[in-house]
């Protein structure tokens, strides 16, 4: 692994201590998620679950009903009972008839990769594991 600038290392540290996942930090710091994990270990940072627990206790991190922190390759939809709609119009507004209407109250991260737009759903008020 090639060395990275001190400024990037400090950004990894501060974003981690703000409760960001390795995938989120990698996007914001313009390094790979593996680099983030490596430098977290080198810096001696506590596990992310402990950081987030402390931030929630301090009221500095929103407590979510599903507390979903999924990798960028995954979405809440993959584990949600509402993901597949039926022919009577029941299901998620995002998937009904493939219209991809936004769900009121959700938190998403939009990003571009290879010229395509992707949406990562971080929190959804309709989410039910199933």
pTM metric for this prediction: 0.48
Question: Is the separation of the CB atoms in 103 and 125 below 8 Å?
Answer: yes
| DSSP 3-state of 44 | coil
* 82 and 53 fall within a common domain: no
Residue 39 lies in a domain: yes
Instruction: Identify the CA nearest to 49 among candidates 76, 71, 16.
Output: 16
Tell me if 66 is assigned to some domain.
no
Domain count, the chain: 2
Q: Are residues 17 and 47 in the same domain?
A: yes
pLDDT (tens digit per residue) in 14-58: 998 988 888 888 888 889 888 999 999 999 999 888 888 888 788
Average the pLDDT over 66-84 and give the result: 62
**pLDDT per residue as tens digits for the range 90-127:** 678 777 665 677 888 888 888 888 888 888 887 888 87
Task: Collapse the DSSP code of 12 into the 3-class scheme (helix H, G, I; strand E, B; otherwise coil) and give the result.
Answer: helix
Residue 71 lies in a domain: no
Nearest Cα neighbor of 120 from 30, 20, 24 is: 24
Structure tokens at 89: 């119009």
Residues 10, 51 share a domain: yes
Task: Tell me which residue range forms the domain holding 114.
Answer: 76-123
């Amino acid at each position: 692994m090639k060395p990275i600038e001190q400024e990037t290392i400090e950004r990894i540290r501060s974003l981690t201590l703000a409760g960001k996942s390795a995938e989120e930090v990698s996007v914001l710091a313009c390094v790979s998620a593996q680099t983030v994990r490596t430098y977290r270990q080198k810096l001696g940072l506590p596990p992310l679950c402990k950081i987030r627990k402390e931030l929630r206790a301090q009221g500095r991190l929103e407590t979510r009903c599903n507390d979903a922190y999924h990798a960028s390759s995954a979405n809440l939809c993959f584990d949600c009972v509402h993901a597949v709609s039926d022919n009577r119009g029941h299901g998620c507004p995002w998937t009904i008839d493939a219209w991809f209407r936004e769900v009121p109250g959700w938190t998403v991260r939009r990003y571009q990769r290879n010229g395509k737009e992707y949406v990562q759903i971080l929190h959804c008020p309709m989410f039910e594991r199933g």
